Amino acid sequence: MRVLLAGGGTLGSVTPVLAVVQELCKRDSGVELLWVGTKRGPERKLVERFGVEFKVITSGRLRRWLTWQNLVLPFRILWGLFDSLLVLHNWRPDVVFHAGSFVAVPVTWAAWLLRIPVHIHQLDWRPGLANRLSAPFATSVSVSFKKSLHDFYSQRTVLTGNPIRIEILKAAKENSYELFGLSANRPIVLVLGGGTGAAALNQLIVETLPFLRSDFQVMHITGLNKMVQPPNWIGMYLQFDFLNERMPSALAVADLVVTRAGMGTLTELAALGRPAVIVPMPGTHQEDNAELFVQADAAVRFSQNSSAVDLAKLISSICSDREQLGSLSLAMHKLSNPQATELVTDLVLAAVHHRRQSDR
C-alpha cells in the first residue's frame, strides 16, 4: 500500500498526520510513504526523522494583507497543480491524506483528477481555507470537534478527535529532568512560539522574565530562525529555536505551558493534561481555538498586547496554586480522545478500500 501525505508551512498540519503514520506502520510494516511539503517550512526535518521520503512542490499561500505576492498566487497554485499531477502520476499512491495547509490543496485537486481517494482531517475549531478548498474533492473528512461536523458534507464527515504522536504520550518525566538539567523541585514553564516562531510572543516572554521569581525554570522554544537576545535574569533560562526529538521530553516536565493557540499543540497538551496559558495570534482562527479551551476551564487566555508584569503575575499565581493546576489539568484531559489516531487511520484505510471496490 502506498500513502501520499501532504502538509507544511507550519507544524500544525504536520503532527497529526505523523501520528497516523505511526499507526499505519504499526498495522502494515510494508506501507510505502511519501510526503509532499514546502521548500522553507519547518516540517522537513521532523518528517525525515520519521523515515518518510520528502518531496517539495510549488505552492502558494493567501496572505490576508496587501502584498504583490497575492498577485502571483494563482500562477503558483497552477504550477503546484502541475507538480502534483506529475508526482501522483509517477508514484501512484493508493490514497492521499492531509490535515490542511496551502501545499495540500493542489495535491488534493490533482488526486481528484486522477481518481485517487483523499482523506482530510480538520484540526481547528474554524475550518481553514485549505480544507474548505479541499473538502469538495475528498472521499472522507475527519474532524476534531462536534461543531465541525456541520462545516463539511455530513455524509462524508466523521468525528474522531485529533491524532497524537506516540512519543508525546510515552516520554518519561524522570529522564526528561536530566536531559535538560532541570530540578523537579522548582516550577518549570515551557514557552512554545510555534514551529515558525511568534515574534510578538517571544518578545513578551523576554520582557516578562525579569518580573518572575528566580526559582522559576523557563524553557523557551522560539521557532526556527527566531532566536532572541537572552534577558538579564538570574533564574534558569534555556532557549531553543526548535526541538525535534526532545519536544516530548520538554512537554513531559512542564508544570505550565505558555503557548500560541495552534490546535495541534493544544490537543497534545490536552492528551497530557498540561495546564496552559494561551496567547492566541490576534485576528486569526487561533482566537476561536483559545476560546474553546477557556470555555472548558482547561486554560487561561492572555492577550499579547497586555503587559509583561501582568503575564509574570499570572504565571506566578497559577504555578503557586496546586489546586488550580490540578483543575486545569483535569479539564484539559477531558478535551482529548485517546482513540483519535486509530479512528483517523481507519478512515484513511477505508478510503483505500473504497477505491479498490470501485476499480473492480
The enclosing domain of 296 has a CATH number of 3.40.50.2000
Q: How confident is the model at residue 69 (pLDDT cuts 50, 70, 90)?
A: low
Residues 108 and 130: their CA atoms lie apart, in Å, by: 10
Strands 236-240 and 140-143: unpaired
Q: What is the DSSP letter of 335?
A: T
CA dihedral sign, ordered 300, 305, 306, 311: positive
pLDDT at 357: 66
Q: Are residues 180 and 239 in the same domain?
A: yes
Q: Are residues 141 and 234 in the same domain?
A: no
Q: Are residues 112 and 181 in the same domain?
A: no
Q: How confident is the model at residue 181 (pLDDT cuts 50, 70, 90)?
A: very high
Q: Coil, strand or helix: which one is 142?
A: strand
165 marked ligand binding residue:
yes
Q: Are residues 40 and 108 in the same domain?
A: yes
Q: How confident is the model at residue 355 (pLDDT cuts 50, 70, 90)?
A: low
**What's the whole-number mean pLDDT along residues 52-60?**
88
Contact 236, 217 (CB under 8 A): yes
Query: Which residues constitute the domain of residue 88?
Result: 2-164+338-359
pLDDT at 12: 84
Q: How confident is the model at residue 73 (pLDDT cuts 50, 70, 90)?
A: low
For residue 94, pLDDT over 70 is answered with yes
Count of domains observed in the chain? 2
Q: Are residues 114 and 176 in the same domain?
A: no
Query: In the structure grid, which three cell numbers stand for residue 290, read together?
Result: 483559545
Q: How confident is the model at residue 70 (pLDDT cuts 50, 70, 90)?
A: low
Q: Are residues 310 and 228 in the same domain?
A: yes
Mean of pLDDT over the chain: 91
Q: Are residues 235 and 302 in the same domain?
A: yes
Q: Are residues 177 and 190 in the same domain?
A: yes
Contact 255, 317 (CB under 8 A): no
Q: Are residues 198 and 242 in the same domain?
A: yes
Look at residues 294, 256, 252, 262 and name the one whose alpha carbon lies nearest to residue 276: 256
Q: Coil, strand or helix: which one is 220?
A: strand
Q: Are residues 16 and 99 in the same domain?
A: yes
pLDDT at 174: 86
Percentage of residues of the chain with pLDDT beyond 90: 76
Q: Coil, strand or helix: which one is 245?
A: coil
Residue type at 128 in one-letter notation: G
Alpha-carbon separation of residue 59 from 8, 9, 79, 195, 226 (angstroms):
10, 10, 8, 19, 23
Q: Are residues 176 and 313 in the same domain?
A: yes
Strands 299-301 and 276-278: parallel
Residues 106 and 85: their CA atoms lie apart, in Å, by: 9
Which tens digit of pLDDT belongs to each residue from 207-216? 999 999 999 9
| b/e sequence 322-350, b meaning 16+ C-beta within 10 Å | eeebeebbebbbebbbeebbebbbbbbbb
Strands annotated E in the chain: 2-6, 32-37, 53-56, 95-98, 118-122, 140-143, 157-159, 188-192, 217-221, 236-240, 256-259, 276-278, 299-301
Query: In the structure grid, which three cell numbers stand for residue 356, read together?
Result: 479498490
For residue 196, pLDDT over 60 is answered with no
Contact 62, 5 (CB under 8 A): no
Which tens digit of pLDDT belongs to each residue from 319-331? 999 999 999 999 9
Q: Are residues 43 and 64 in the same domain?
A: yes
Backbone angles phi, psi at 5, to 5 degrees: -110, 150
pLDDT at 65: 47
